[in-house]
Structure 1
Amino acid sequence: MAPATVASLFEPIQLGPLTLRNRVFISALTRNRSVPTNIPNAVNLEYYQQRAKSPGLIITEGVLITQQGSEWPHAPGIWSKEQVAGWKKITDAVHKEDSFIFAQLWHLGRVGHPDAPEQKAAGVPVYAPSAIAARGGKFRFIPGEPGYVTPTAIDDPTILIDLFEKAAVNAKEAGFDGVELHGANGYLVHQFLDSNSNIRTDSWGGSAAGRSKFGLLVLERLIKVFGKDRVGIKLNPTGGYNDMGMPLEETIETFSYFITEADKLGIAYIDLVRYVDLFDPVFDGKKRGTKHDVISTYAHLMKNAKVFSNGGWTGEEAAAAVKDGKVQGVFFGMGWINHPDFAARLEHGKPLDNPLDYTTLYGKYHASEEEQRKGYVDYPAAEY
């Protein structure tokens, strides 16, 4: 029996047709381990297999929907048959542990780089809603610190929407239980939502409704493939990361509109990412983000979707929020990196005592298998 302080996290929850065994979920965690290409490998399989024994739901690391480059080397994709086959091994392993796994579908938009190896191979520009560069930038596989570049404004955004639909088709073939649209952290969907990165004057911009159009149409395409009750979205209204953030009033207007319309589509859940200071960079001497309480501001707008959250939760805090009805499930990130049995430790009152090695958080470019394993699949589980 789970300790009373976290007991509410271990009540089952129904997510569409899926009965999740608990409300302790694995957040998407980019780890840069799909070496030497963007195809999930044996070390990736071991990583997910280790973590599949105790969570209610697993969200994969961000899965690139196209070969259109990445700021992250060795991030896995889902545009090729080889990638589908690699992911199928992982979904099969997760299902053998009676767990469920959603693919997080990801397009970087303006935070790609033209010198990234995969961007060169794709032979297309770095696309974004508008030709506005993000400040900052860090590319682990490009010498020096080139920073972000001015992207090419996409003439017809439906070209990118088509890529999301194809990725969903591939995810279904790979055996995923559903998909999560990455609408947070300054990537493509978020770039369309934010008035600082989207200054379009056509139907894809200009107002909260116009800036919401792209993400809502992507959700409709994902629903077309998976059904509404197997689709979720991750949103970060507080901005900050990757040079995102609008004034508070505009932020609330935009995300209230988007969340209300997304909820009308009947999707399974909306993951609201709380403000995390670590992911809010300083520009011109001040923090970039728009700090506000995302749960109290937006959760009441969800009439159909489950209210999930992410961002610096402790087990006890998450359990209290579930017990009080503020959220219905919580994604944890960092704790799962160094504790492959994170949920089981919470449930059985075991300490979270594996020290986290920050130097191995992200994989090295062209790492050997030994280097891939370090800080990835070598953290021990507790004894039960």
Structure 2
Amino acid sequence: MSALFTPLKLGSTTIPNRIGMSALTRNRSSATVPNEIMLEYYVQRAKGGAGLIASEGVLITRQGSEWPQAPGLWDKAQIEGWKKITDAVHKTGSKIYAQVRHLGRLSHPDAPEQIAAGVPVYGPSATAARGGKFRFLPGEPGYVTPTEIADPTVVIAQFKQAAINAKAAGFDGVELHGANGYIVHQFLDATSNQRTDKWGGSVENRTRFALEILKELIEVWGPDVALKVSPAGGYNDMGMPLQDTIDTFGHLLREVNKLNLSYVVLMRYSPMLDLEFDGKKRATQHDVVTTFAPFLTSTAIFVNAGVTPTEAEELVGNGKVAGVFFGLNWITHPDLGRRIEEGKQLDNAPDFLTLYGAEGVDPALGYTDYKEAVY
């Protein structure tokens, strides 16, 4: 595994190896504020050999998420909570980016945080996503028809403020969440973006929102800005025909390549995230690395979703990608990097009952309670 364990310069930061920990929603904060058990969770994995950690998706403003204990980054208490985590991660020699996200149409108007926000559920268009399950609300309702965002620049400004807050919290950079059906992806996809103004319609217009956000993040962070995309779609009712997908993401990444980002994460097709509606799978299956790497000629590419350690070594070793983000394996193996380096078996299966925590259950269960770590 020699290729995976070589340093890599990303923006102004050098990471010690090519093994990243993907952003993973875990739903363990204290009313959106990072807490001590989250600190333990991130430090475990930093000690366990993660060269770069992408934080779980951090909400840039108060929203009614399906996961009410997802952390935010819009107030002082949240900044201070994250600062404890970033300081501790840095002491291990690891680096950490804040993955900033806005849910868009995937919030619910009856969720307490959405009510407290005092604004409706927004999306690029008044087009609902199928699916969703707000388990903490009576009847476990799904997604609703959102209100069309009148002025997308308001949300762009919220992303910029979150980037400012991430710098105050001690992160090494920010990763824009443009994947998995959240607001950036909603603007990109022609099935969720039905606008007829400059933010919708053509490929140039549908990619405008993502590109304008990235430019604002760069104003704050310079070269330490990254982007995650999932062109294959599927999750949260996303997906276009193949040619539309290539045209849209090809244009986006061609323009992104001009911005000198620290890296771009290409999320591969994942059967686990391919939802079925009316007897038909939602995703557009194709090889995202082969298809889109040619658009990123001067940008570091990371790949994510279902990559094995052996495959990761091959992809990095032959120069197809600069690094690999692992997801579920970091949940069940907090020492994943050490295990890969020492050739140890990956033998823990995730417990999906405790993946996002459970009411009345110790939050450490399935989160920080892995005692057999080799570090």
| Shorter-chain TM-score range | over 0.9
| Contact kept? 1:109, 1:128, Cα under 8 Å | yes
| Runs of 4+ residues deviating >3 angstroms | 381-384
Structure-2 separation of matches of 1:148 and 1:225: 33
Question: Partner of 1:151 in structure 2?
Answer: 146
Structure-2 separation of matches of 1:190 and 1:269: 18
- Please tell me the root mean square deviation across aligned C-alpha atoms, in Å: 1.1
Give runs of aligned pairs for residues 53-202 of structure 1, distance below 5 A: 53=47, 54-202=49-197
Which of 366, 369, 372 in structure 2 is aligned with 1:378? 369
Residue 292 of structure 2 aligns to a residue in which SS? helix
* Deviation readout 1:316-354 (Å, 9 max, x if unpaired): 011111111111100000001011110110001111223
| Contact kept? 1:32, 1:364, Cα under 8 Å | no
Q: CA deviation at 1:96?
A: 0.5
Structure-2 separation of matches of 1:75 and 1:165: 20
Structure-1 separation of matches of 2:185 and 2:373: 38
Structure-2 separation of matches of 1:259 and 1:305: 10
Which of 299, 303, 325 in structure 1 is aligned with 2:293? 299
Shift of the 186–383 alpha-carbon distance from structure 1 to 2, 3 Å rule, reads closer
Q: CA deviation at 1:284?
A: 1.3
Q: CA deviation at 1:14?
A: 1.2
**What runs of 5+ residues in structure 1 fail to find an aligned partner?**
1-5
Given the alignment of the two structures, is residue 241 of structure 1 paired with residue 235 of structure 2, yes or no?
yes
Of residues 180-189 and 143-152 in structure 1, the stretch that sits farther from structure 2 once superposed is: 143-152
Structure-2 separation of matches of 1:99 and 1:343: 11
Structure-2 separation of matches of 1:373 and 1:145: 25
| Contact kept? 2:29, 2:71, Cα under 8 Å | yes
Structure-2 separation of matches of 1:259 and 1:144: 41
The amino acid that maps onto 2:53 is I
Structure-2 separation of matches of 1:7 and 1:246: 38
Residue 340 of structure 1 aligns to a residue in which SS? coil
Q: CA deviation at 1:51?
A: 0.8
Question: Partner of 2:326 in structure 1?
Answer: 332
Shift of the 94–288 alpha-carbon distance from structure 1 to 2, 3 Å rule, reads same
Of residues 280-289 and 10-19 in structure 1, the stretch that sits farther from structure 2 once superposed is: 10-19
Structure-2 separation of matches of 1:83 and 1:248: 40
Question: Partner of 1:51 in structure 2?
Answer: 45
| Contact kept? 2:108, 2:121, Cα under 8 Å | yes
Structure-2 separation of matches of 1:112 and 1:86: 24
| Contact kept? 1:267, 1:304, Cα under 8 Å | no
Question: Partner of 2:250 in structure 1?
Answer: 256
Residue 140 of structure 2 aligns to a residue in which SS? coil
* Deviation readout 1:19-64 (Å, 9 max, x if unpaired): 11111100000000003x1000010011011111211100000000
Structure-2 separation of matches of 1:140 and 1:23: 37
| Contact kept? 2:339, 2:374, Cα under 8 Å | no
Question: Partner of 1:3 in structure 2?
Answer: none
Which of 27, 32, 38 in structure 2 is aligned with 1:38? 32
* Deviation readout 1:121-144 (Å, 9 max, x if unpaired): 000010110000001111121122
The amino acid that maps onto 2:6 is E
Question: Partner of 2:218 in structure 1?
Answer: 223
Q: CA deviation at 1:263?
A: 1.2
Residue 86 of structure 1 aligns to a residue in which SS? helix
Structure-1 separation of matches of 2:266 and 2:370: 29
Structure-2 separation of matches of 1:292 and 1:348: 33
Structure-2 separation of matches of 1:380 and 1:16: 35
Which of 301, 305, 317 in structure 1 is aligned with 2:311? 317
| Contact kept? 1:64, 1:78, Cα under 8 Å | yes
Shift of the 159–281 alpha-carbon distance from structure 1 to 2, 3 Å rule, reads same
Q: CA deviation at 1:371?
A: 1.3
TM-score where L is the length of structure 2: 0.98
Question: Partner of 1:23 in structure 2?
Answer: 18
Report the identity percentage: 60
The amino acid that maps onto 2:144 is V
**What runs of 5+ residues in structure 2 fail to find an aligned partner?**
none
